[in-house]
Amino acid sequence: MESPLGAASVSILLGVLFAYLLDRLEFPPFLGFFIAGVLTKYFLGVDLPEIYLQVLISLVAFEVGRQLGASGMSPAAFFAVILETAFIVGISVLIFRLAGFKTIEALAVALMLLSSSSLLVLKLTQGLPTEARNIAISLTTLEDTVLFFALSLLIGGTTVESLPVNLVVITILGGVSLALFSYIDRFIIGRDYALPFALATAFGFVYVVQYFRIASPYLGAFLAGYVFSRTDTRGVHTKEAAALSSLIIYTYMLAVGASLPTSGLNLVFFALSIAVALLAVFIRSVSVFFASLFITGNPRLSSSVAISTAHLSELSLTIPVLVHKFGVVKDPELVFALSIAPIFTLFIAPFVWRQRHLIERYVGSRMKELRSTVAYEKLYKVITRAFTTAAKLAILMVVVALAFSYMGVLSLIVLIPLSYFLSKYFREIYNDLLIALREYEGARYGSAAVLISTSALALYVTIALLSPTLEAHVYVIGLIIAVLTYTLYVVYRELQRERDRRLSSSTTTR
């Protein structure tokens, strides 16, 4: 079709018609727009510019971040997703490597399996008990978060060596942006331009992340959505953001369908996509079940959560397209086969869901309830505070090192009067971490491990960020180590004082 506007009109009309039919058949309606996009590309020869898909993926990332900020972070779900991710990556890489896939292709498939469709989970879990529904929704929201981080690792230029640095820098960026949004909250929240401002900020973060090559640019949009939702504590813009969410998803599915490489598809790869879909349902069911069981200890509840998430996210459709564009997977037939595999899982999921009572009874009769003994809230508090402490320490050490490097002797004049304030600020930084460590109730070895790990992470990030400077000013390393040693001494002294107070109080009680 010569007119792009005409092709867009036809594709939207087809998308609405297919969405209506699928909704009547109790399937996800957004699949209709994906089918319309594929048909438009195949029959009308529409070649969608890559920038459109990039923009829509950024908008989807913004929406995922907004949903995470609105729902909050559940410590139990946080650890469940970590376990689930480990299960999925391990099982899927093993199976697909044995099936003849290359390692990078197996990793791409594993990345596709990390997340389930939040829209379908919301629909399937309507009749579940509140506890099971909340766990399923928390899992699928956090899965999308893990998916974007993993996508950064695969195509964002991140290596194993740079991953700690990138994560700390992203944490710093998140803290700065949260402070900025909190300040301007009074000026934009409740205004008509609040949501456009948030979207503009999202693309600003996309540019910042892309410019500094911290991670995948989509992570910047995700971060903006999360921060915007966290600052909108009164939920003033929840309704308009939810309406925008549906429009983003439908347009995104249409664009993904129109971006697939459809040339030369044969029956072998079509059968491969069905096989990948069936394996995906199996791998996700097993992984989510054991992760949920480890958290809840209830086999029946865990099976309900596993069945409700036994499908792939609509975001997974993008992964084969992106890895093809970035040259990770070069075979267009394989890309198309992998791209339609999530679609098959979304069609399979309702059929599997209707058999959940049989599966629940079978699992319940074969397994007993387990006692969950892990203090997730305490462990989550320690991990998050340790990570933010490392980020703050890295900032301070970078500032001190740069001042010492570029100001020379003058830096001593500046640093000497500031030493008191730096000392005081170091103690304030570690105050939150010390509070979390006291939850261990005297486990000094565990506290020492957390302290050393936190300080080592801060030191690693500092040296990595200052590597060009350190080549010219080797003595800066000594300054950094001195700062690090001082902080460890401060924390050790505080822990010893706390221990002495506990011993004295226990002796007095006796």
Residue 429 binned pLDDT confidence (cut-offs 50, 70, 90): low
Core vs surface per residue 129-163: b (16+ CB within 10 A) or e: eeebbbbbbbbbbbbbbbbbbbbbbbbbebeeebe
Q: Are 478 and 183 in contact (CB under 8 A)?
A: no
- Rounded to an integer, what distance in angstroms lies between the CA atom of residue 427 and that of residue 429? 5
Q: What is the mean pLDDT of residues 319-332?
A: 76
Q: What is the mean pLDDT of residues 3-17?
A: 82
Residue 349 binned pLDDT confidence (cut-offs 50, 70, 90): confident
Residues whose CB falls within 8 Å of the CB of residue 33, separated by 6 or more in sequence, listed in order: 15, 18, 19, 250, 251, 253, 254, 257
Mean pLDDT for the chain overall: 74
Q: Which ranges of 261-316 does DSSP label H, i.e. alpha helix?
A: 267-296, 299-308
Q: What is the mean pLDDT of residues 345-361?
A: 86
Residue 54 binned pLDDT confidence (cut-offs 50, 70, 90): confident
20 vs 192, residue with greater confidence: 20
Residue 17 binned pLDDT confidence (cut-offs 50, 70, 90): very high
* Domain 48-366: assigned CATH number: 1.20.1530.20
Q: What is the mean pLDDT of residues 6-16?
A: 84
Q: pLDDT > 70: what percent of the chain? A: 63
Residue 229 binned pLDDT confidence (cut-offs 50, 70, 90): confident
Residue 225 binned pLDDT confidence (cut-offs 50, 70, 90): confident
- Report phi then psi at 328, rounded to 5: -70, -45
Q: What is the mean pLDDT of residues 436-457?
A: 59
Q: CA end-to-end span of the chain, whole Å?
A: 89
DSSP state for residue 315 in the 8-state scheme:
G
What residue has token string 């462990």? 379
Residue 372 binned pLDDT confidence (cut-offs 50, 70, 90): low
Residue 472 binned pLDDT confidence (cut-offs 50, 70, 90): very low
Give the residue from 249, 192, 185, 245 showing the smallest Cα distance to 33: 249
The two three-digit tokens of residue 238, written as one number: 């929840």
For 186, counting Cβ atoms within 10 Å of its Cβ (0-12 exposed, 13-18 middle, 19+ buried), the class is exposed
Q: Is 374's pLDDT higher than 60?
A: no
**CA 15 from centroid of its chain's CA atoms:** 29
Per-residue pLDDT tens over the stretch 492-506 = 666 566 656 666 665
Q: Are 56 and 258 in contact (CB under 8 A)?
A: no
**Model's pTM, two decimal places?**
0.71
Give the residue from 387, 395, 397, 396 showing the smallest Cα distance to 477: 397
Q: What is the mean pLDDT of residues 327-334?
A: 75
- Rounded to an integer, what distance in angstroms lies between the CA atom of residue 122 and that of residue 283? 21
Q: What is the mean pLDDT of residues 280-299?
A: 86
- Rounded to an integer, what distance in angstroms lies between the CA atom of residue 366 and that of residue 455? 47
Q: Is 20's pLDDT higher than 60?
A: yes
Residues whose CB falls within 8 Å of the CB of residue 322, separated by 6 or more in sequence, listed in order: 57, 151, 155
Domain boundaries, the chain: 1-47, 48-366, 376-509
Q: Is 105's pLDDT higher than 60?
A: yes
Q: Is 204's pLDDT higher than 60?
A: yes
Q: What is the mean pLDDT of residues 388-409?
A: 68
pLDDT confidence of residue 258 = 83
The two three-digit tokens of residue 335, written as one number: 């890309």
488 vs 334, residue with greater confidence: 334
- Rounded to an integer, what distance in angstroms lies between the CA atom of residue 88 and that of residue 287? 6
Give the residue from 482, 505, 399, 441 showing the smallest Cα distance to 172: 399
